[in-house]
Structures are given as structure tokens and as C-alpha cells.
């Protein structure tokens, strides 16, 4: 493991190793078919767009968990309105849980 050369393993220039994606191979760099955006403003815009996308994804995931919790609470309220004897119990995380007494179905 001491002899590992990342540039040789990925077949790329050592200057491009910090890139986690879009890392061109040496063959592509030699053929000059590779166009590298040199414009710093374009790179900043791409980074900002990426961070904005991750932030939006984070907000959507938070909203999904909130909506799932609300749906679960509404479903519990619906079950509580039904007939049957039930007992209230405290859950592991401090939330209230209910246990219904088993009824024989006719």
C-alpha cells in the first residue's frame, strides 16, 4: 500500500487528482479533445449550483420526514376514533403509543 501511485492508477495528470469527478485520462489530454473550463466565474457558478442543489435536496428530505410524521399522526387519530378498548402506553422515545384489546371477529 506504500507504493500506491494514484496518478498512475487513474491514468491522469497529478494536477487533476484533487478532482473527484470529470478526471480526464492522459490519452484524452494528449489528443487535445478535452476542453477544460478555465473561466473561474464558470467554475464558481457550477459550485454554487451544486451547493444550491444539495441545499434543496436537504430541504425536500426534511419536508418529507415532517409530512410522514403528520400522516402518521392523522392515521393514529383516525384509529383512535374507531370503536374498541385501548390503553395508552409511553413509547421508548417518549411518544405515546396505544394498544388495543383484541376483539373476536364474528
pLDDT in tens, 31-78: 866 666 667 888 889 899 999 999 999 999 999 999 999 999 999 899
Query: Which cell is 83 given?
Result: 370503536
Residues 6+ away with beta carbon under 8 Å from 85: 100, 101
Residue 1: its pLDDT value, please?
A: 64
* pLDDT computed for residue 63 by the predictor: 98
Average pLDDT over residues 12-26: 85
Amino acid at each position: 500500500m506504500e507504493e500506491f501511485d494514484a496518478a498512475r492508477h487513474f491514468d491522469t495528470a497529478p494536477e487533476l487528482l484533487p478532482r473527484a469527478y470529470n478526471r480526464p485520462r492522459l490519452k484524452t489530454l494528449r489528443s487535445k479533445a478535452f476542453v477544460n473550463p478555465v473561466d473561474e466565474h464558470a467554475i464558481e457558478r457550477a459550485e454554487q449550483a451544486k451547493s444550491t442543489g444539495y441545499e434543496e435536496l436537504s430541504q425536500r428530505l426534511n419536508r418529507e420526514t415532517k409530512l410522514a410524521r403528520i400522516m402518521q399522526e392523522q392515521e393514529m387519530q383516525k384509529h383512535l376514533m374507531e370503536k374498541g378498548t385501548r390503553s395508552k402506553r409511553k413509547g421508548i422515545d417518549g411518544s405515546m403509543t396505544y394498544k388495543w384489546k383484541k376483539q373476536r371477529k364474528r
